[in-house]
Amino acid sequence: MMCIFPSALASAVETWLIQAANFIAGLELEGILGCGFDQLRCCRVRLKRGRKAPVSQHHRFSSFSSFGLGLEAEGKGFSSRCMDGKPMRRCTSTRPGETGMDVTSRCTLGDPNKLPEGVPQPARMPYISDKHPRQTLEVINLLRKHRELCDVVLVVGAKKIYAHRVILSACSPYFRAMFTGELAESRQTEVVIRDIDERAMELLIDFAYTSQITVEEGNVQTLLPAACLLQLAEIQEACCEFLKRQLDPSNCLGIRAFADTHSCRELLRIADKFTQHNFQEVMESEEFMLLPANQLIDIISSDELNVRSEEQVFNAVMAWVKYSIQERRPQLPQVLQHVRLPLLSPKFLVGTVGSDPLIKSDEECRDLVDEAKNYLLLPQERPLMQGPRTRPRKPIRCGEVLFAVGGWCSGDAISSVERYDPQTNEWRMVASMSKRRCGVGVSVLDDLLYAVGGHDGSSYLNSVERYDPKTNQWSSDVAPTSTCRTSVGVAVLGGYLYAVGGQDGVSCLNIVERYDPKENKWTRVASMSTRRLGVAVAVLGGFLYAVGGSDGTSPLNTVERYNPQENRWHTIAPMGTRRKHLGCAVYQDMIYAVGGRDDTTELSSAERYNPRTNQWSPVVAMTSRRSGVGLAVVNGQLMAVGGFDGTTYLKTIEVFDPDANTWRLYGGMNYRRLGGGVGVIKMTHCESHIW
């Protein structure tokens, strides 16, 4: 910021400085100038000793502006500037060396942030362009395509790629080291790049200029090595992410080897886990039969190998040996050491293992069988025989996993998602949604978790997101609902995803629509007879139930049932208690309704509906009041998740015991959640343990 003096004072200072330079050079002069500002108390000017140099007519000074707080005088051979950029804290003027004179001024202010009275405040508007980076890259890319201003040519095989060193250096540490160091390539106009596929290099250079690249099955195996060489970490991650999504029992071993070759540790870890958890299918693949011995040993040595019994491991090893018996027969003793023979049944050990010709013909193999026999026949000696081969495997079993999605926490809507695995009794964070969503409707269709509508803290949403547990990714390519909805009920019936009721920011809704995943389309169906926000939904016996909620005036105890064959809603028996923002789930062929809020308070009570008698009956109350609670059945257990007790947002979980007719606390989530959705996914390939 510049120091400002009135124009009359500016002229006087200019004259004084010129006279001092011409006639008093070689002396040291200190003077006090009264500056006439309320803020400016004094200005001390010091002329340092040096040789005299004339100040001629060529010394042209700019006028002093009256709209700032700095001093700036410029001319040929002379300048006066604020050196530190701070408002009048210190202003330094210097005369270049050839003049032999140094002029320094120091100014002290009363209030550095206040302009003199009568001087208008300067208008300011900071501006940051969102378009500038993209537009700049577009122009630079056009220059490249037209071979304009290019200063390097990359020779890759038979291909020549024109480029700009500065762009390549900005994107790639490899090129930055090449062009800014003392390497010969820094001075060459043509640079030969070896060990990279031509097409992969073209794609990576395009990415440097466009920020876009498409990873696909046909290029990932050349793109990843090229990205590793050029140290393009972002592309490496994209390739690894693509390969994660392709993991399958038939290809996981190939992906594992590929990740190991290119030092992609995270991909290697995930491929390892996938292989271990799906070993029973992997062992039947062609890739398994082609494994080298060391990789086979790595796999079967894992404590987490998911097998029903050690017999499967032995059979897999023998099938691998017999696939190429002449080559692999000598490797059998080495591999067999990692089969846990002492864990086999005595019948299988003696009748199958001990009688196999390949085992009988090798002394080391016979010794391993004898060791296992001793372990089985001498139980009193087992404490002395413990080792890697006697350690039981502890595979992580597949099962149902509970997801808690979005909600309200600490005064704002949240996008975080976490999942609970009963096998490990752990809550772990997974990928967050792209939007914050409170009052979100959640359900599972085709092993994919859908999050419908909600409120992001400032607006009502009609967007929908879909989560794939195999990739730990949310996608937003799902068609939006026809209207914004929060406090909406969502359920799956007959292969369709239904969105029921809610509110759009103007009124409560009775509108119902359903989503067809094959067409990626929402279609209206019959509306409910009553408007319902904070409604709970459930599917039982081929019908969709809408339970409770609020009509915008008061909580409801009424219940409606939708028949998809007739496309009609029918009223059934009401609940015993009015409830909005309740939890609802089907458990043991009955619909359970828990918690919520009535006209005055949050509820802990619960009740259940028997479709055979068309009656609701009370169930023992939960240990906590819970409004905005999620209710789900996980591996045969009815679980109430989170909510609000009237004072505190909750992260605790309760489980219902039907035999004891009690609820018991069952740990807690990482986040407190009110109005979050819950969904349950059956993990067919133990994906939940991979991420």
Q: Stretch 350-367: mean pLDDT, rounded?
A: 92
pLDDT digits (tens, 9 = 90+) for 164-178: 999 999 999 999 999
pLDDT digits (tens, 9 = 90+) for 235-276: 999 999 899 888 889 999 999 999 999 989 989 998 998 899
In sequence order, what are the beta bridge partners of 140?
none
Q: What is the location of CATH 1.25.40.420 in the chain?
A: 310-386
Q: What is the location of CATH 2.120.10.80 in the chain?
A: 400-689
Position 67 confidence tier, pLDDT thresholds 50, 70, 90: very low
Q: Which residues contact 379 (CB under 8 A, 6 or more apart)?
A: none
61-75, 102-116, 357-371: which has the minimum mean pLDDT? 61-75
pLDDT at 536 over 80: yes
The per-residue pLDDT for 598 is 95
The per-residue pLDDT for 308 is 85
120-129, 344-353, 640-649: which has the minimum mean pLDDT? 120-129
The per-residue pLDDT for 385 is 81
pLDDT digits (tens, 9 = 90+) for 69-122: 233 333 333 333 333 343 433 333 333 344 343 433 333 444 555 556 667 778
Q: Stretch 492-515: mean pLDDT, rounded?
A: 96
What is the pTM for the complete model shown? 0.54
Q: What is the location of CATH 3.30.710.10 in the chain?
A: 132-246
* Count of beta carbons in the 10 Å neighbourhood of residue 205: 22
The per-residue pLDDT for 102 is 40
Q: How far is CA 620 from CA 605, 613, 657, 662, in A?
A: 7, 20, 10, 6
Q: Reduced to 3 states, what is the DSSP secondary structure of residue 438?
A: strand
Q: Stretch 641-650: mean pLDDT, rounded?
A: 94
Between 179 and 45, the higher pLDDT residue: 179
Burial 291-321 (b: 16+ CB within 10 A, else e): bebebbbbbbebeebbbeebbebbbbbbebb
Any idea which fold 400-689 has? Answer: Neuraminidase (2.120.10)
Q: Which residues contact 302 (CB under 8 A, 6 or more apart)?
A: 272, 276, 393
Position 380 confidence tier, pLDDT thresholds 50, 70, 90: confident
Q: How far is CA 429 from CA 266, 668, 688, in A?
A: 17, 13, 11
The per-residue pLDDT for 42 is 36
176-190, 313-327, 629-643: which has the minimum mean pLDDT? 176-190
CATH fit for domain 132-246, picks 3.30.710.10, 3.40.50.10800, 3.90.650.10, 3.40.50.1100:
3.30.710.10
Helices then strands (H, E): number in the chain?
Answer: 18, 35
In one letter, which amino acid is 370?
D
CATH fit for domain 310-386, picks 3.10.450.50, 3.40.50.970, 1.10.357.10, 1.25.40.420:
1.25.40.420
38-52, 121-135, 327-341, 590-604: which has the minimum mean pLDDT? 38-52
Between 155 and 387, the higher pLDDT residue: 155
Angle between helices 293-300 and 252-261 (to 10 degrees): 110
Side-chain-side CA neighbours of 641 within 13 Å: the count stands at 30
Q: Which of 17, 104, 106 is nearest to 53 (CA)?
A: 17
